[in-house]
A and B are shown apart, each in its own frame.
Chain A
Amino acid sequence: MDVHSRDYRARARQIIEETPEVREAVNAATQTFVDNRQNAFADLDGTALSRWAERVKSHALTHLADYLEEAEARLIERGAHVHWAETASDVHQIFERIVREQGVKKAVKAKSMLSEEIGLNPFLESCGVEVFETDLGEYIIQLLGEPPSHIVGPSIHKSLDDTRVIFHERLGTPRDASPERLAEAARDLLREAFLTADLGISGGNFLVAETGSIALIENEGNIRLSTSVPRIHIALVGIEKVLPKWADLPTFLQVTAKSATGQPVGCFVSMIQGPGGLPGGEPDGPEELHVVLVDNGRSRLLADPEVWEALRCVRCGACLNICPVYRQTGGHAYGYVYSGPIGGILGPGLVGLEETLPLPFASSACGACADVCPVRIPIPDLLHVWRQRAVERGLTSDVERSVLGLLTSTATRPRLFGWAEKAAGLLPAPVLRHLPMLREWSAGREPPRLEGPTFRELWDEGIE
């Protein structure tokens, strides 16, 4: 996927000014998620749970090579093919061979953020494969030609009416169709695709090393269908998705579902150990299971002593839902597959700071994301690390660096600070409006009146 994060500020402004309904839609959806998440954790010791989950994930990451080899061995024993890919191009090559050798013409796809990272859909289309996104939200944005706006709900920025319009145009449903009617139209069309596709593609929420199990969580049933009906299933799994033991899985399934939508668990969970059909000695299921273990920047991020903890992420979206900055625009402003707070720490790690520069700065430093992260990623700290690096590498604006440098020099010299205070009191108030960086902040505010003794003067006199 092309990264457009450098345009964040312009895109954010455009979304807020030109399409205010997006902000409304995103706010409504995320507030629902936030409320439901809160209810789900009300009777639980969330802190103890997240401490446990953090340790399991950190253990997995600090022993990652061994666990990846174990998962691979289990999968091969069951008759699955395991491939490894360092880059997007490696993944493309793997798909290209399977498509060519198996004569794949049609593919059904379950939602996978990793597949967006590596630009899978355009590549498959260039190989002559017709690709159907089967997650209803992904299907809607596929029709619209848009990228996803949220990790869990790709189309939360689209209203009912938006969906009515596009379905009317492309599927011929009535212009005022009910949500049930729209869902029915999508179901009938995609059902046909499930039944006639040669290939099913999925991501992976977790990869359990002990049993080689790929775990997938969903509510619609499209993942179960995509991974059961076509004769070939390819699962794309980031190397950081590893869980060590089968016994770790039930808690992670529940914690992820509760953090994402407040549900006890998703309506459907698939735990896939190997191919079905003849190789698996079963009545149906894919004859071939391919698991592609993908790096795409993860091993480099793992090597980073300050930011590696970002790899604990379970993609629940809780940090997006609670982020006051994300809620203003939804995901499109970020120009990258991962948006919100997690986007601000994964983006620079996976793609590079130059390409994703504005993202760590798209934050009010409120810290709410750290409170809701089920694996206790210290997101504000990691955002801060990237910001520091941006300044050190000279990537931030010269004006900002100068102004902040001046402020630092003044604030760290008490006498100079005292004089500056007095001088500011002598300035006519409207001047403040025109100072760089204060202009926008003061646009909607009355200027403060700097009159009377300063706090320091009062202190010296002895305040009552």
Chain B
Amino acid sequence: MSDERVSKRARARILDRVREANQEREPVEHPGALPDGLEPPGPFGDAGRSDPVGAFEDRLRAAGGEVVRLADEAAARKWLEEFAREFEHVSVGVGVPDTLQPALPKAPPSEAALGVSVAVGAAAQTGSLVLSSKEGRQSQLLPPVHLIWVRAGDVHTTLGDALQACRQDLPATLALHSGPSKSADIGQILVTGVHGPGRIIAAVLLGPKP
């Protein structure tokens, strides 16, 4: 039997069996959203709500990420120039504004020393940056160092809020990056940069959106 007919038959049989399995069972209602205050808070409690950027920074740092705060676009450009000096070449995500791109020769993601992205959001609760596949995934994953721009106004307190903000326009893949790549699979000893970037820098742009 062709694989597609196998799949069709399997579909019908699985759904039938599942429906039959539940026939005599009391259905359980969805409990709805978690009641306020029970949503896993950060270690910072109320601070997370009043200072999401500060809480985000604490959490990402605790996971081994680096965070830098930049007062405005001018400060960002100045910082970027200094930061980019140690890298030979760069791979930049599609749609990263020119002003946020380092003046380095471009290289394919598999060869570039540095990758640059713009996050579509961030969550203080988990120290996460939300990345979209629309800018291209390889520059987010292959270079050993990953610089991610994020606007302070896009830093949400909870992960729930950060994901809800993306709900209406989901790309092929939405990703959360919450620290450098790591593993303790070798004799339970922590090593970083195992497959993904071993160094991530979140550059937070304070000040209003242009």
CB distance from A296 to the nearest CB of B (A): 10
Q: Which of B20, B30, B177, B186 contacts A303 (CB 8 A)?
A: B20
Interface pair B10/A85, CB less than 8 Å apart:
yes
Chain A residue at minimal CB-CB distance from B197: A221
Q: CB-CB < 8 A to A213: which residues of B? A: 170
The CA-CA distance from A265 to B177 in the complex, in Å, is 10
The CA-CA distance from A303 to B14 in the complex, in Å, is 12
Q: Which residues, 77 to 99 on B, are CB-close (under 8 Å) to A?
A: 94
Interface flag for A5 (CB, 8 Å) = no
Contact with A along B155-187 (1 / 0, CB 8 A): 000111011100100111111111111111111
Interface pair B191/A45, CB less than 8 Å apart:
no
Interface pair A271/B175, CB less than 8 Å apart:
yes
The CA-CA distance from A161 to B187 in the complex, in Å, is 8
Interface flag for B74 (CB, 8 Å) = no
Interface flag for A151 (CB, 8 Å) = no
The CA-CA distance from A258 to B193 in the complex, in Å, is 22
Interface flag for A195 (CB, 8 Å) = yes
Flag the segment in A186-194, A382-390, A414-422, A445-453 that touches B: A186-194
Interface flag for A64 (CB, 8 Å) = yes
The CA-CA distance from A136 to B193 in the complex, in Å, is 12
Flag the segment in A152-160, A341-349, A354-362, A400-408 that touches B: A152-160
Assess A285 versus B133: contact at CB under 8 Å? Given A251-B39, A270-B175.
Answer: yes
Interface flag for A435 (CB, 8 Å) = no
Q: Which of A269, A271, A303 contacts B17 (CB 8 A)?
A: A303
Which among A49, A155, A191, A247 has the greatest number of chain B C-beta atoms within 10 A? A247
Q: CB-CB < 8 A to B209: which residues of A? A: none
Interface pair A69/B15, CB less than 8 Å apart:
yes
Q: Which of A65, A229, A264 contacts B125 (CB 8 A)?
A: A264
The tally of residues in A whose CB lies under 8 Å from a CB in B reads 106
The CA-CA distance from A416 to B207 in the complex, in Å, is 85
Q: CB-CB < 8 A to B125: which residues of A? A: 254, 264
The tally of residues in B whose CB lies under 8 Å from a CB in A reads 82
CB distance from B10 to the nearest CB of A (A): 4
Q: CB-CB < 8 A to A204: which residues of B? A: none
Interface pair B40/A224, CB less than 8 Å apart:
no
Interface flag for A300 (CB, 8 Å) = yes
Contact with B along A433-453 (1 / 0, CB 8 A): 000000000000000000000
Interface pair A269/B191, CB less than 8 Å apart:
no
Interface flag for B188 (CB, 8 Å) = yes
Q: CB-CB < 8 A to A96: which residues of B? A: 3
Assess A90 versus B195: contact at CB under 8 Å? Given A250-B163, A285-B137, A285-B173.
Answer: no
Contact with A along B131-161 (1 / 0, CB 8 A): 0011111101110000000000000001110
Q: CB-CB < 8 A to A48: which residues of B? A: 35, 38
Q: CB-CB < 8 A to B195: which residues of A? A: 134, 187, 190-191, 194, 220-222, 225
The CA-CA distance from A454 to B140 in the complex, in Å, is 74
Assess A273 versus B159: contact at CB under 8 Å? Given A136-B183, A160-B189, A224-B196.
Answer: no
Interface flag for B128 (CB, 8 Å) = yes
Interface pair A221/B10, CB less than 8 Å apart:
no
Interface flag for B127 (CB, 8 Å) = yes
Q: Which of A253, A270, A282 contacts B136 (CB 8 A)?
A: A282
Interface flag for A135 (CB, 8 Å) = yes
Q: Which of A94, A275, A284 contacts B7 (CB 8 A)?
A: A94
Contact with B along A204-226 (1 / 0, CB 8 A): 00000001010000011110110
The CA-CA distance from A239 to B160 in the complex, in Å, is 25
Interface pair A282/B171, CB less than 8 Å apart:
yes
Interface flag for A295 (CB, 8 Å) = yes
Report which A residues bind B (CB closer than 8 A).
Answer: 25, 28-29, 32, 43-45, 48-49, 52, 55-56, 58-59, 61-65, 68-69, 78, 83-86, 90, 93-94, 96-97, 134-137, 140, 153-156, 158-163, 179-180, 182-183, 186-187, 190-191, 194-195, 211, 213, 219-222, 224-225, 227-229, 239, 244-247, 249-251, 253-255, 258, 263-276, 280, 282-285, 293, 295, 299-300, 302-303, 305, 308
List 7 A–B pairs whose Cβ atoms lie within 8 Å, in order of A's numbering.
A90-B10, A161-B187, A191-B142, A221-B195, A224-B141, A282-B171, A285-B137
